[in-house]
Amino acid sequence: MKKIIIMLALSVFAAAAAFAAEGKVVSVADGHAVVDMGADAKLKKGAGVKLNGKAGKVTAVEGNIVTIKAKNAADLKAGETVKVDKAASMQGC
């Protein structure tokens, strides 16, 4: 039983840590941050993300450019480096 619990905990941790990348803010407007993710732009429209640790949602993806709607977007400035993490989800539970 212990092995099952440990394996479950490790799989949840691995899923949560599966994606974390940095990008540069291109622009900010109306609660949306446009971020150039470079080669790390492996996000899809509608994906839940964390932008510098705050919840957000990908609203558009165009090549390496990702638009993220987040409450903390107004706090960001063009040229600033930000951390984008894929939000953990408990699908199938």
Do the domain assignments include residue 35?
Answer: yes
CATH number of domain containing 54: 2.40.30.20
- The model's pLDDT over 36-85, given as tens digits with 9 standing for 90+, comes to 998 867 888 999 999 998 999 999 999 899 999 999 999 999 999 999 98
Q: What is the DSSP letter of 39?
A: G
Q: What is the pTM of this model?
A: 0.73
Do the domain assignments include residue 28?
Answer: yes
SS3 89: coil
Structural domains in the chain (count):
1
Domain that holds residue 79: 20-86
- pLDDT band at 5, cuts 50/70/90? confident
Structure token pair of residue 82: 């930000």
**25 phi and psi, to 5 degrees?**
-70, 125
Question: What is 41-82 written as a DSSP string?
Answer: ----TT-EEEETTEEEEEEEEETTEEEEEEGGGGG--TT-EE
Instruction: Mark out the alpha helices in the chain (DSSP H runs).
Output: 2-16
Task: State the pLDDT at residue 41.
Answer: 72
